[in-house]
Structure 1
Amino acid sequence: MPRMAMFGHTAREPVPAGAFGNKAAGLAEMAALGIPVPPGFVLNVEICEEFHRDGGVLPPDVPGLLGRGIAFLEEATDLSFGGARPLLVSVRSGAPLSMPGIMETVLDVGLTPDAVRGLIALTGNPRFAWNSCWRFVQNFGTTVLGRDPAVYAGLQQRALQAAGVPSLAGLDSFSLRDLVRAAVEEEGEAAFPADAHAQLTAATVAVLESWMRPRALSYRQMNLIRDGGGTAVCVQAMVFGNIGPRSGAGVGFSRNPWTGEPGALVDFAFGAQGEDVVSGAVSAASEEGLRRTMPEVCRRIAGTARILEAHFRDMQDFEFTVQEGALYLLQTRSGKRAPLAALRIAVDLWREGVITAAEGRERLREVDLDTLLVRVPVPDTPPLAAGTPASGGVVSGAAVFSAETAERAAERGPVIYVCDILSPDDLPVVGLSAGVLTARGSRTSHAAVVARQMGRVCIVNCAGLSIDRKNHRCLIGGESLSEGDVISLDGGSGQVYAGEVAVVEERPLDLLEVAEGWSGG
Structure 2
Amino acid sequence: MAMEDDTQRLATFGYGVQEDLPASVFGNKAANLARMAALGIPVPPGFSLNVSICEDYFRNGETFPSDIPRILDEGVAFLERATGQSLGSLRRPLLVSVRSGAPVSMPGMMETLLNVGLSRRTIRGLILQTGNPRFAWDSYRRLLENFGTVACGQDPAPYRSLLADTLAEEGVPDEAELDAASLRNLCGEYERHYLESTGGAAFPVDVRAQILMAVAAVIRSWMSPRAEAFRRLHPMGDLRGTAVVVQAMVFGNMGADSGAGVAFTRNPWSGENEFLLDFKFGAQGEDVVSGEQAAVSCREFSGRMPAVYENLSRIGRTLEMHFGDMQDIEFTVQKGVLYILQSRAGKRTPLAALRIAVEACNEGLLSRDQALALLEGLDLDAITLQKVVADEPSLGAGTSASTGVATGSIVFSSDRAQQASAGGPVILVRETASTDDLRGISASDGILVARGARTSHAAVVARQMGKICIVNCTGLAIDERRRRCTLGGHELREGDVITLDGDTGLIYRGRAGILHERPESLLAAVRAWTDSRRG
TM class, shorter-chain normalised? over 0.9
For the residues of structure 1 that align with 2:75 and 2:376, how far apart are their CA atoms? 40
Residue 226 of structure 1: how far off its partner (Å): 4.7
Counterpart amino acid of residue 416 in structure 1: I
Q: Which residue of 1 aligns with 2:171?
A: 164
Residue 147 of structure 1: how far off its partner (Å): 0.6
2:205 alignment partner, one of 194, 214, 228: 194
For the residues of structure 2 that align with 1:498 and 1:410, how far apart are their CA atoms? 19
Q: Which residue of 2 aligns with 1:412?
A: 423
Residue 105 of structure 1: how far off its partner (Å): 0.5
1:118 aligns with 2:125: yes
Counterpart amino acid of residue 83 in structure 2: T
Counterpart amino acid of residue 121 in structure 1: L
2:271 alignment partner, one of 257, 260, 267: 260
Secondary structure of the residue aligned to 1:410 is helix
Q: Say if 1:342 and 1:364, in contact at 8 Å, map to a contact too.
A: yes
For the residues of structure 2 that align with 1:219 and 1:447, how far apart are their CA atoms? 12
2:367 alignment partner, one of 356, 361, 364: 356
The CA RMSD measured in Å over matched residues stands at: 0.9
Residue pairs, 1:49-448, within 5 angstroms? 49-84=55-90, 85-188=92-195, 190-448=201-459
Residue 57 of structure 1: how far off its partner (Å): 0.7
For the residues of structure 1 that align with 2:382 and 2:144, how far apart are their CA atoms? 49
2:31 alignment partner, one of 25, 29, 32: 25
Residue 11 of structure 1: how far off its partner (Å): 1.6
**Post-superposition CA distance 1:389-408 (Å, at most 9, x none):** 00111011001101232223
- More displaced stretch, 218-227 vs 441-450: 218-227
Residue 294 of structure 1: how far off its partner (Å): 1.0
Q: Which residue of 2 aligns with 1:483?
A: 494
Q: Say if 2:418 and 2:439, in contact at 8 Å, map to a contact too.
A: no
Q: Say if 1:207 and 1:233, in contact at 8 Å, map to a contact too.
A: yes
For the residues of structure 2 that align with 1:187 and 1:311, how far apart are their CA atoms? 45
**Post-superposition CA distance 1:213-253 (Å, at most 9, x none):** 11111111111235221000000000000001100000000
Secondary structure of the residue aligned to 2:228 is helix
Q: Which residue of 1 aligns with 2:12?
A: 6
Counterpart amino acid of residue 434 in structure 2: S
Q: Say if 2:400 and 2:454, in contact at 8 Å, map to a contact too.
A: yes
Residue pairs, 1:443-482, within 5 angstroms? 443-482=454-493
Counterpart amino acid of residue 331 in structure 2: F
Secondary structure of the residue aligned to 1:255 is coil
For the residues of structure 2 that align with 1:179 and 1:505, how far apart are their CA atoms? 54
Counterpart amino acid of residue 236 in structure 2: I
Q: Which runs of 5+ in 2 are unaligned?
A: none
- More displaced stretch, 179-188 vs 429-438: 179-188
For the residues of structure 2 that align with 1:148 and 1:491, how far apart are their CA atoms? 34
For the residues of structure 2 that align with 1:491 and 1:291, how far apart are their CA atoms? 25
Q: Say if 1:241 and 1:323, in contact at 8 Å, map to a contact too.
A: yes
Counterpart amino acid of residue 50 in structure 1: D
- More displaced stretch, 278-287 vs 430-439: 278-287
For the residues of structure 2 that align with 1:336 and 1:483, how far apart are their CA atoms? 30
Q: Say if 2:97 and 2:116, in contact at 8 Å, map to a contact too.
A: yes
- More displaced stretch, 156-165 vs 494-503: 156-165
Q: Please list every run of at least 4 consecutive aligned residues from structure 1 whose deviation after the TM superposition is greater than 6 angstroms.
A: none
For the residues of structure 2 that align with 1:205 and 1:306, how far apart are their CA atoms? 36
Q: Say if 1:220 and 1:226, in contact at 8 Å, map to a contact too.
A: no
For the residues of structure 2 that align with 1:403 and 1:270, how far apart are their CA atoms? 31
Secondary structure of the residue aligned to 2:157 is helix
For the residues of structure 1 that align with 2:349 and 2:435, how far apart are their CA atoms? 18
Residue 167 of structure 1: how far off its partner (Å): 1.1
Counterpart amino acid of residue 99 in structure 2: R
For the residues of structure 1 that align with 2:273 and 2:413, how far apart are their CA atoms? 36
1:43 aligns with 2:43: no
For the residues of structure 2 that align with 1:164 and 1:402, how far apart are their CA atoms? 32
Q: Say if 2:167 and 2:178, in contact at 8 Å, map to a contact too.
A: yes
**Post-superposition CA distance 1:111-170 (Å, at most 9, x none):** 021210001111111100000000000100110010111010011111112212221112
- More displaced stretch, 182-191 vs 347-356: 182-191
For the residues of structure 2 that align with 1:367 and 1:396, how far apart are their CA atoms? 23
Q: Which residue of 2 aligns with 1:520?
A: 531
1:494 aligns with 2:505: yes
For the residues of structure 2 that align with 1:77 and 1:216, how far apart are their CA atoms? 33
For the residues of structure 1 that align with 2:215 and 2:248, how far apart are their CA atoms? 15
Counterpart amino acid of residue 38 in structure 1: P
Residue 259 of structure 1: how far off its partner (Å): 0.4
**Post-superposition CA distance 1:326-350 (Å, at most 9, x none):** 0000000001110000000000111
Q: Which runs of 5+ in 1 are unaligned?
A: none
Q: Say if 1:10 and 1:76, in contact at 8 Å, map to a contact too.
A: no
2:518 alignment partner, one of 486, 507, 517: 507
For the residues of structure 2 that align with 1:273 and 1:509, how far apart are their CA atoms? 43
Residue 9 of structure 1: how far off its partner (Å): 2.7
Secondary structure of the residue aligned to 1:161 is helix
Secondary structure of the residue aligned to 2:107 is coil
Q: Say if 2:263 and 2:278, in contact at 8 Å, map to a contact too.
A: yes
Secondary structure of the residue aligned to 2:182 is helix
For the residues of structure 1 that align with 2:201 and 2:127, how far apart are their CA atoms? 23
The number of residues matched between the two structures is 521
**Post-superposition CA distance 1:421-468 (Å, at most 9, x none):** 110010001111000000001100111000000000000000110100
Residue 507 of structure 1: how far off its partner (Å): 0.3
Counterpart amino acid of residue 139 in structure 1: N
For the residues of structure 2 that align with 1:360 and 1:15, how far apart are their CA atoms? 25
